Structure 1
Amino acid sequence: MIELLSNPAAWISLLTLTLLEIVLGIDNIIFISILSSKLPADQQKRARKIGLALAMVTRVLLLLSLSWVMSLTSNIFNIGSWFNLSDSELLSKLAISGRDLILIFGGLFLIYKSTHEIHLKLEGEEEEGGTPKVHTFSGVITQILLLDIVFSLDSVITAVGMADHVEIMIAAVIIAVIIMMISADAISNFVNNHPTVKMLALSFLLLIGVSLLAEGFDQHIPKGYIYFAMAFSILVEMLNLKMSKKNKKPVALRDTPKENKV
Structure 2
Amino acid sequence: MEAESIQSLTPLLQQADQWREVLLLLPLLVALEAVLSADNAIALAAIARGLEDPARQRQALNLGLALALVFRLGLIVAAQWVLNFWPLQLAAAGYLLWLCGRHLVLVWSGGDADPAAAAGAAGAGSGEHGSLHHAGLGSIVVTLALTDLAFSLDSVAAAVAVSDRLLLVMAGGVIGVIALRLTAELFIRWLEVYQHLETAGYLAVGLVGIRLLLRLGLPQVVPPEWLLLVLVAALFVWGFSVRSPQLEPPAEP
Q: Give the TM-score normalised by structure 2.
A: 0.71
Q: Which residue of 1 aligns with 2:60?
A: 47
Unmatched runs of 5 consecutive residues or more in structure 1 = 75-97, 250-262
Q: Secondary structure at the residue paired with 2:51?
A: coil
Q: Secondary structure at the residue paired with 1:40?
A: coil
| Structure 1: 4+ residue segments shifted above 4 A | none
CA change 1:18–1:173 in 2 (3 A) is: farther
Q: Secondary structure at the residue paired with 1:224?
A: helix
Alpha-carbon displacement from aligned partner over 1:59-89 (angstroms, at most 9, x marks no partner): 22222x2xx3213334xxxxxxxxxxxxxxx
Picking from 221, 225, 228, the partner of 2:227 is: 225
CA change 1:37–1:160 in 2 (3 A) is: same
| Distance (whole Å) between structure 1 residues aligned to residue 69 and residue 38 of structure 2 | 14
Is 1:31 matched up with 2:43? yes
Tell me whether 189-198 or 116-125 shows the greater mean CA deviation: 116-125
Q: Which residue of 1 aligns with 2:102?
A: 116
Query: For the pair shown, which has the larger CA radius of gyration, 1 or 2?
Result: 1
Count how many residue pairs are aligned between Structure 1 and Structure 2: 212
Instruction: Name the amino acid aligned to 2:52.
Output: P
Q: Give the TM-score normalised by structure 1.
A: 0.69
Q: Which residue of 1 aligns with 2:150?
A: 150
Q: Secondary structure at the residue paired with 1:72?
A: helix
Shift of 1:196: 1.1
Shift of 1:119: 2.0
Check whether the contact 2:65–2:181 (CA below 8 A) recurs between aligned residues: yes
Check whether the contact 1:28–1:148 (CA below 8 A) recurs between aligned residues: yes
Is 1:61 matched up with 2:74? yes
Q: Pairwise CA RMSD of aligned residues?
A: 3.0
Q: Which residue of 1 aligns with 2:173?
A: 173
Shift of 1:5: 11
| Distance (whole Å) between structure 1 residues aligned to residue 173 and residue 103 of structure 2 | 29
Check whether the contact 2:45–2:188 (CA below 8 A) recurs between aligned residues: yes
- Trace 1:107-256 onto structure 2 (pairs within 5 A): 107-125=93-111, 133-219=133-219, 220-239=222-241, 246-247=248-249
Q: Which residue of 2 aligns with 1:12?
A: 24
Check whether the contact 2:69–2:173 (CA below 8 A) recurs between aligned residues: yes
CA change 1:224–1:56 in 2 (3 A) is: farther
Shift of 1:239: 4.9
| Distance (whole Å) between structure 2 residues aligned to residue 14 and residue 218 of structure 1 | 33
Unmatched runs of 5 consecutive residues or more in structure 2 = 1-15, 113-130
Instruction: Name the amino acid aligned to 2:66.
Output: A
CA change 1:114–1:233 in 2 (3 A) is: closer
Q: Which residue of 1 aligns with 2:4?
A: none
| Distance (whole Å) between structure 1 residues aligned to residue 132 and residue 158 of structure 2 | 39
| Distance (whole Å) between structure 1 residues aligned to residue 187 and residue 89 of structure 2 | 26
Q: Which has the higher contact order (CA 8 A, sep 6+)?
A: 1
Shift of 1:226: 1.4
